[in-house]
Chains A and B, each alone.
Chain A
Amino acid sequence: MRLIPKEVETLWTLFTAPVVWIAHFLVCYIGAAIYCAKPELVGLSFSAVRAGIAAATVIALSLIALSAWLAWRQWGFGTDDPPHDDPTSRDRSLFQGFATLLLSGLSFIAVIFTAMPALFLTECIR
């Protein structure tokens, strides 16, 4: 079994990092919303929610970093510069790699944005 996936020919990899962002966002939002609505459900404190958000954030950032590394590899580790507009499968693949890398960057920042409220908020105030 290999740890790092092979390069695949598909459009879907482009969306990996944003999908991780949305999953992280939903986990944080739904988790906090359920906790604030029913704090007695699991009997934990708000610190546990914050720790959960921290854990989710670490996982999300690692997944995005992995997606970024795969994208960097598909981009040929930056050997070619954009615009990648030759009519070849190679340039098409380089373009995909580069665009995926950019999206990974944006998603990475957006995940950090989403996690930041957990740094400052210490209770379910309304």
Chain B
Amino acid sequence: MSAAIKERSRKEYKAQEERLRAVWANPAGWRYWTSVNNYQIGLWYGSAAFVFMLFAGALALLMRLQLAVPDNDFLSADLFNQAFTLHGTVMMFLFAVPIFEAVAIFLLPPMLGAREMPFPRLGAFGFWSFFLGGIFVCGSIFFNAAPSSGWFMYPPLATDKELSGIGADIWLLGLSFIEVASIAAAIELIVGIMKCRAPGMRINLMPLFAWYLLIVAGMILFAFPPLIAGDLLFEMERMFDWPFFDAARGGNPLLWQHLFWIFGHPEVYIIFLPAVALMAMIVPTFSQRPIVGYSWIVLAAVGTGFLSFGLWVHHMFATGLPQISLAFFSAASEAVAIPTGVQIFVFIATMLAGRVIFSTPMLFGTGGLAIFVIGGLTGVMVALAPFDWQAHDTYFVVAHLHYVLIGGMLFPVVAGLYYYYPLIEAKKLSDRLGRLAFWLMFCGFNIAFFPMHLSGLRGMPRRVFTYPAEIGWDWLNLISTAGAFIFAAGVLVVVFDVLRPKHREPRGEVNPWNAGTLEWISEPEENWGVRSIPIVRSRYPLWDQKDLARKVNEGRYYLPDAEEGQREGLVTSVLDADPIQVLRVGGTSHVTIVSALSLGAAFIALTFHWWIATALAAIICLCAVIYWLWTGTAEIPEKPEKDVGLGLSLPLYASGPDSVGWWAMFITMVGDGTAFASLVFGYFFYWTIHADFTEGIAGPDAVWSLAAAILFAAAWGLMVAARTINRRGATPAMRGLLVLSLLTTVAASAAGFAGPWSPGMDPTSHVYPAIVWILVIWVLAHAAVGTLMQAYCLARSLAGRLTPKHDMDLSNVVLYWHFLLVTAVITFAVIGLFPAAM
């Protein structure tokens, strides 16, 4: 009897496993590339970023060859300019930031005990955007059309079409496109970490990697939008001659520097923190004990995240700002050393308290941190304004930034590669090759970059393509070049180690390093992340919950099955991770690729001013996105609840703040609001630098502006009312209100347009009309998206996909309208009333 039951349950177990495997399986053949699974996306993302890194590294070697001897003519000045611009751009935008997104997408779901990120198709869309944008930017050098004004694109050099050519447009549009991918990743990460952890994984038990990534994703949300706003102004100047950075017409190049570095300095920490996050996973494993000072790491991550936003002007110490302004930023730059130091001490304490196994990952990790500490110390030096005035724009800064970035980012990433490689292929990389690579890279790095401190102090400016012989820089540069090639040899050893065929080696164990965190129960052969979603009771569940791995793999926890043939995960509460909902996520799809490629095509066509192609691509992209939303989001489930196992039944649908979609909208709009705030900052920036910033030009008509603000408020009120009465079941009235709100929005937009149009403000004449127009255009573009959303909700309601109980779409759209209301009211109040008040 009991044997029969066992046989039946064994069969049932097999059937469950088969169903689950089928649901998560990848398509075969070329359709493989339509996969949206976090495992494949993470791997492609990481590989692409790595290839871009090798490309940018090759450019660096060309530069080093050129600089090896004085008066060299290996590269022309122009090609040298393209090489260093592309080197910096690619390393920052196509390697350092994306590689962490890749690692996070790959690692987070298994680490949090989740099946998938909450928006897998968004992740795939982000990857394809990144990939296409990256190829576009990198490829430009083969047509001698790469950007050549340095990776931070300072105007007026970069706004001069004669001097900068099409390269600057490629930079601006290619990178704007990639920034879209970064923000997509930030949304995915924040929602994933806050809402999709395994049940029981309270915030005090969350892996430190997740803590870091949460902070970093939040930083992306506030750091990238100012750059997007800056790109917008920049491209308007280059394309339509709006004088935002042209001093002759009231513009100012310093605004670009502000916007760029409000992005650029947090960016350094956006790169650094995930790398330390890897260390926070590696150090406990090889010390075989929990991390010492978990809360202190959280302090450091959050503290660095905030303080890093108070540092941007330290890139502008030499621009002639008032000394008190410099001093504020100098102070904050010194303060950020505190949380940065805390992390290093936490790692040292953990190593001292445990028994350290000096494996290859530890070697890369600790070696990297040693390099980073040197870079950090020179950072404290250049944070002092008087010292910076001496070192500014010299090789000292080049040395400093490479010590910080290579020590704080590249070495830990290689450590992570050696550590996590068994999750990719179930085999370790070679320990012998790893050590060889480490010593080549470590020695090569120091030989290459340490002398740059000295050449910098001897006055060698960065970005010169050659130098005369008798000036005292030659042997320092020769040493640097030799070091660079040794370093590159080390990198090649790593590449060889990854690429060499390993099929003869036996399959390794599942958790080869005896690590304590959840990602180590996932098997590379399976696509489902975890066989069943466990209950977590420890920071290091594999160390403390002895039979966890076995029970997970026997399907004894939540969601061991996929009866309805849907990809499912759990949504849990933010603080205590109590299960609250079953989340159905999108599966394999073409629509992500179509939308990314069409969006990319629109950006590329824009670069070459092919207006019709741009419009066509944009329309295709819009259709693809609408199709994506219509067929893949806010689906009404076939039943309200579902049994998830262990006697628990959870709802299949949530709306409003309970739903992940609402949070995604909220986070997107916070980023969007930051970009808007940057434009408003621009408006007031122009006000401060001029005695009369309107230059006597008549401003937008106050009555029209006021009318626009009031009409937008009315449209918003109608949207809120529509949501409320829909919940009461009055569907026809809701539809009526939607139509009314749509018409009001159109009227509001017309009034907003009439504001600057009626006095005939010409945006090319002076910066004042230009900044007014850009604010109005920003609102109008958002209003246009708002009307699309209203029409979409109407269509959903008519199609029966939006009901009084299932109103996720409407609820998210109303959230969008909250933000639109704030944007519109601020804009029209500022442009309509401020000039009169002054």
Contacts and interface: CB of A to CB of B under 8 A. Distances in A.
Given A25-B310, A103-B303, A36 B575 contact: no
Nearest to B291: A83
A14 B834 CA distance: 36
B302 A109 contact: no
Given A92-B204, A106-B303, A124-B322, A83 B295 contact: yes
Interface in A1-51: 9-11, 14-15, 18-19, 21-22, 25, 28-29, 32-34, 36-38, 49
Interface string B120-146: 000000000000000000000000000
Contacts of A116: 327, 331
Contacts of A94: 204
A121 interface: yes
A22 B302 CA distance: 13
Nearest to B573: A9
A61 to B, nearest CB: 14
A98 interface: yes
A interface, over-half SS: helix
Interface in B279-309: 290, 293-296, 298-299, 302-303, 305-307, 309
A82 interface: yes
A64 to B, nearest CB: 12
A32 B323 CA distance: 10
Contacts of B305: 18
A92 B325 contact: no
A82 B297 CA distance: 13
B333 to A, nearest CB: 9
A21 B307 CA distance: 8
Contacts of A103: 299, 302-303
- Interface residue tally of chain A, by bracket? 35 or more
A9 to B, nearest CB: 6
Interface in B524-571: 536-539
A49 B325 CA distance: 12
Given A33-B322, A37-B689, A82-B294, A110 B576 contact: no
Interface string A90-121: 01101110110011001101100110111011
B324 A11 contact: no
A28 B310 CA distance: 11
B701 interface: no
A54 to B, nearest CB: 13
B574 interface: yes
A118 B194 CA distance: 40
A33 B295 contact: no
Contact of B332 (A37, A82, A83, A110): A110
Given A22-B310, A110-B307, A125 B203 contact: no
B164 to A, nearest CB: 29
Contact of A85 (B294, B329, B331, B689): B294
A117 B324 contact: yes
Contacts of A110: 303, 307, 332, 335, 338
Contacts of B302: 14-15, 18, 99, 103
Given A102-B296, A126-B323, A33 B332 contact: no
Contacts of B320: 126
Contacts of A18: 302-303, 305-307
B309 A33 contact: no
B205 interface: yes
B205 A121 contact: no
Contacts of B203: 11, 92, 95-96
A11 B575 contact: yes
A32 B325 contact: yes
B335 A87 contact: no
A87 B536 contact: yes
A73 interface: no
A113 B332 contact: yes
A91 B339 contact: no
Contact of B309 (A22, A84, A87, A125): A22
Nearest to A75: B295
A79 interface: no
Given A22-B310, A106-B338, A89 B332 contact: no
Contacts of B202: 87, 89, 91-92
- 4 nearest A-B residue pairs (beta carbon): A117-B327, A95-B204, A18-B306, A102-B299
17 contacts: A10-B575, A14-B302, A21-B307, A22-B309, A49-B324, A82-B295, A83-B539, A84-B294, A85-B539, A87-B202, A92-B575, A95-B294, A95-B295, A99-B298, A110-B332, A114-B331, A121-B327
Given A83-B290, A107-B306, A116-B327, 5 more contacts: A11-B194, A21-B307, A29-B329, A32-B324, A124-B322
Interface of A: 9-11, 14-15, 18-19, 21-22, 25, 28-29, 32-34, 36-38, 49, 82-85, 87, 89, 91-92, 94-96, 98-99, 102-103, 106-107, 109-110, 113-114, 116-118, 120-121, 124-126
